[in-house]
Amino acid sequence: MPAIETTDLTKQYGDTVAVAGLDLAVDAGSVFGFLGPNGAGKTTTMRMLTGLVRPTRGRATVAGADATDRDALRPRIGYLPEEPPLYDHATAYEQLDYAAGLRDLDPERARERIDDLLDRLDLPPEDASGRIADYSKGMRQKVAYVQAVLHEPDVVFLDEPTSGLDPRAARTLRELIAELADGGTTVFLSTHILPVVEEVADTVGILYDGELVAEGAPADLQRRAETGEARSLEDAFLELTTDAVDAAPGEGDG
Amino acid sequence: MAEPNWARHALRAGSFEYRRSVRAVRKDTGRLLLLAFSVLLPTLLLGGMAALFAPIIRENVPDGHAVPAALRGGATLFWLFGVFLLGQRTSSAHSEPVAAPFVLTTVSPRTAVVGGIVAESLRVLTYVLPTAALVTLVGAYAFATPAPLLTVPLVGCLFVASAVVAGRLAGYSTAWLVARVPFVARHRTGLSALVAIIFFGLYMLFQLPSIPYSLDPALLSAVPLGWIVELLAVGTPIAFSPVHAAGGLLTVAAVLVGGGWAAQRIAASLWFGDEVDPTEGDDAAVTTTERPAVGALERAISPLSVPLVTGPVRQVARWTLLRARREPQRLNFLMVPVFGGISGLGSMVLQGTVSPSAFGPAVALIAGWVGGAAFALNPLGDEGPVLPMTLTTVSGRTYVRGLLAPALLTVPTVGALTLGVAVAGGYGLGSALALAGVGCLLTAVGAALAPAIGIWFPRYSAIRIGNSDDVRPPRLLAGALHTALVFVPGAMLVGAVVAPGLVRLVVSGVGAVPGFLLGLVAGESGGIAVIASSFDAIGAGIRSLPLGVVQFGVGGLLAAGGVLAGWIGYREAVRRFDEHEPY
């Protein structure tokens, strides 16, 4: 059974169609790379899948829960939006203690997990004891990532998780994402950094103008590019998101 | 060192900032109406007085009289009052330029400081413009001379500009002390409260001649700054002292130049220096321990604690308390009724127009309202960027209960405070206990209503309060609605305890008012007259009720209504949170 499944998922704001009839199935324990240019509808899709926005039409289930049923969804998902959801006036420890308490996690287990993840992400205790208002973008991103995966959710939604991270931390995060998937967590990863997707994603979906114009393994997408020559995912992305308007809908779907 | 053409840049920066703030006010209808009201009300009052007295002055111009010393002293007192307010504003809201990273890497500190002064002066001038225009016209009419058309705007502009410069200097200095001196940084809330109490205490001594140790404003006439009002006499039949006028002009010039120079030096040091860590040496601050993360929130709110509730509800309650402690600027809106109400009442008590016993009912009402409004009048806005995390983590029931808990924790404090003040004010134990009960009930009802109103009318856009651009106080509409829902029935409830006769009279209006209105349109007979007399009879019936019945009947109904409203508010808040879509 797919961990994420959408059928005709659509979101309209007035006359503007943000997401148009999205049909998607993401296997449990896989990493799904969600690509698309700015304004394609990626974030709106994530918001619908996390229950933050109700679809105008269609249906979505996440880890077996209907995406409009927030009570069922909450324990199953973790979400790292593009803007790290952190309180400036808290310290990282206070923020993570807060999140662990909201999830009613076992204190001992929460402590071990927080310490382990912060250690892996190279955020030492002296930094984690300082106010988030004084953090760099990368430090905020690290804390927000820990917060999103603290409760070991079935599905985690990551919107630009490597944004602002230094190369070492970005590499660690890619390893952590791979470990999450190895542990059975489904990762829904939205990013503009295509090499990240190439490295960690099992499947890639490309959204353009609210429509899914391509879906498949990164290597498949490369092969499917018009010339058929071995090219990068970036080339495939650029081609698909440039010509998609003129192509028949679903032409590139896998 | 300032860049070439700094004066032109400062004027441009100041006018840009002024236009930006005007646009911000225009976008906020509630704030615009409040500002318009606060500007037009005194203008209308002054206009009424001018209409009465200007013709009399015109007929009886006091020829040859000198400008009284009390007027020069009063002007100085008013100037100092303005400097204090503007200084507070600078230290709390304008200690850095708006968009500081851009401004400070583009122009010199001098340009930034002068630009800020220009913007603030334009804002103040806009605020006082209707009153100043009225004074100008009335002066010209009353003294039958065009001179006030020139002198009033001139004196007004110099007065405002010098007060703004001095206010900026005071504000930057305060912000510098907070940024550089650990003791001041740690105790800034207490210290600023102390300074405010001392300032307003002194101000009251000058303003209220009836109180003990009061001071004559004429004492301040020795300060040359107020001498500038002497210029207002130029061209009128009032005798004019060139010495005072020249002294006033020189002092204003010294404030503008010297104060501006000093403000620039202090601001540059403030903006480009390192801040001290206010938690340095503070044992309560989070320190690296064996278990730093777990329990961090509990340690952070210590010595406060959240008893009785557990689990996620307690976490929300703890965070709500921590936010109030770490971001006290967001509670500034509570100061309006507290200082406005209590200081207004205090002033009336000092003047002998109201009995000191009025403090008991007032504290029941105001403390009850504050307890309810403090934590939850803008919960979604308070969450800021964390809102998606909160919505995907906790249920509405958990969240709203977590918001209610800190407010409900204030119930015993409100009860004890009200009881103490009521007993001190001369009420018997029974009445004092009843007032304390009302205070507790209002706190609980206000607490339950606040999240519902706050979620219904959230404010997401941040405004600049303190040194933060990221403060989201409740919307004016939310505050007004909550105040009306707590204060109006609360006042009736307090009245039922201490003035049941008055409450009986007010309640009888249910019959008397429609009876009176219908009586106006009805003849002596006919259907409407019958209905009118029925209403009159209802009013008369209520007026004949024994006071005990009013106390327990009306009081009981209001208390039950409050409990019901609180319950409905709680349910509504939970529903709205669960259904909220943040985008």
Touching check for A75 and chain B: CB below 8 Å? no
Cβ contact B236:B62 at 8 Å? no
Across the interface, of B296, B385, B393, the residue whose CB is closest to A93 is B296
Residue A249 pLDDT level (bands cut at 50, 70, 90): very low
Q: Point out the residue among B297, B388, B393 whose CB comes nearest to the CB of A94.
A: B297
pTM for this prediction: 0.71
Q: Which residues of A touch B394 (CB under 8 A)?
A: 74, 102
- Residue of chain B minimizing CA distance to A115: B293
pLDDT of A222 higher than 80: no
Residue A6: its H or E element = strand A4-13
pLDDT tens-place string over residues A9-22: 999 988 889 999 99
Buried b (16+ CB within 10 A) or exposed e, B344-380: ebbbebbeeebeebebbbbbbbbbbbbbbbbbbbbbb
On the question of pLDDT at B449 being above 90, the answer is: yes
Pair B425, B359: CB distance under 8 Å: yes
| Contact call for A125 and B323, based on CB within 8 A | no
Chain B residue with CA closest to A52: the answer is B581
CB atoms within 10 A of CB B517: 12
Query: Is the pLDDT assigned to residue B68 strictly greater than 50?
Result: yes
pLDDT at B21 over 80: yes
Helices and strands in chain B: count of H runs, count of E runs: 23, 2
**Looking at the partner chain, which of A44, A52, A93 has a beta carbon nearest the beta carbon of B286?**
A93
pLDDT at A204 over 50: yes
A248 pLDDT above the threshold of 70 = no
Check residue B468 and give its pLDDT: 52
Digit-coded pLDDT (tens) for B88-104: 889 877 888 887 878 88
Distance from CA of A200 to the nearest CA of B (A): 25
Cβ distance of A93 and B314 shorter than 8 Å: no
- Give B-chain residues touching A83 at CB under 8 angstroms: 385
Per-residue pLDDT tens for B455-501?
999 888 765 544 455 667 788 888 889 999 998 999 999 999 888 88
Q: How confident is the model at residue B28 (pLDDT cuts 50, 70, 90)?
A: confident
A74 and B311 in contact by Cβ < 8 A? no
Q: Please tell me whether residue B279 adopts helix, strand or coil conformation.
A: coil
Half-sphere exposure at residue B28, Cβ-oriented, CA atoms within 13 angstroms: 20
Mean local confidence (pLDDT), B512-529: 78
Q: Are B493 and B522 in contact (CB under 8 A)?
A: no
Q: Range with the lowest mean pLDDT among A91-95, B45-49, B281-285?
A: B281-285
Q: How far apart are CA A45 and CA A22, in angstroms?
A: 9
B393 → chain A, closest CA residue: A74
Q: Are strands A31-35 and A186-190 parallel, antiparallel or unpaired?
A: parallel
Distance, CA of B158 to chain centre: 27
Which of A19, A74, A87 to mutate to test binding with chain B, by most B CBs within 10 Å of its CB? A87
Tell me the DSSP string of B507-527: HHHHHHHHHHHHHHHS-SSSH
Confidence of residue A150 (pLDDT cuts 50, 70, 90): very high
What is the complex's ipTM, to 2 decimals?
A: 0.79
Long-range pairs of B56-60 with CB within 8 A, sequence gap ≥ 24: B57/B142, B57/B143, B58/B141, B58/B142, B58/B143, B58/B144
Tokens 């009279």 found at: B505
Residue-wise pLDDT for B393-412, tens only, equals 999 999 999 999 999 988 99
Indicate if the pLDDT at residue B282 is higher than 60. no
Mean pLDDT check: name the lowest of A46-60, B89-103, B145-159, B283-297.
B283-297
Contact at CB, A100 and B293, closer than 8 angstroms: yes
**Which among A93, A96, A106 is the top mutation candidate for probing chain B, defined by the most B β-carbons within 10 Å of its own β-carbon?**
A93
| Listed range (A84-88, A229-233, B262-266, B554-558) with the worst mean pLDDT | A229-233
Q: Given an 8 Å threshold on Cβ–Cβ distance, is B583 in contact with A52? A: yes
Residue B450 confidence (pLDDT): 94
Q: What is the pairing mode between strands A16-26 and A4-13?
A: antiparallel
On chain A, the residues whose CB falls within 8 A of the CB of B395 are: 70-71, 74
pLDDT in tens, B121-163: 999 999 999 999 999 999 999 888 999 999 999 999 999 999 9
In this prediction, residue B405 carries a pLDDT of 93
- Per DSSP, helices labelled H in A129-184 are 137-149, 167-182
Could you tell me the pLDDT band of residue B288, with boundaries at 50, 70 and 90? very low
Alpha helices in B256-358 (DSSP H): 260-272, 296-301, 311-326, 335-350
* Cα three-residue angle B482-B486-B490, rounded to 5 degrees: 165
Mutate to test the interface with B, among A98, A103, A190 (most CBs of B within 10 A): A98
Across the interface, of B293, B296, B386, the residue whose CB is closest to A85 is B386
Cross-chain CB nearest to A129 (options B292, B315, B398): B292
Is A52 in contact with B297 (Cβ distance < 8 A)?
Answer: no
> Does the distance separating the beta carbons of A102 and B394 come in below 8 Å?
yes
Burial of A101 (C-beta count, 10 Å sphere; 0-12/13-18/19+): buried
Q: Is A207 helix (H, G, I), strand (E, B) or coil?
A: strand
**A47 and chain B in contact, CB less than 8 A:** yes
Round the CA-based radius of gyration of chain A to a whole number and report it: 18
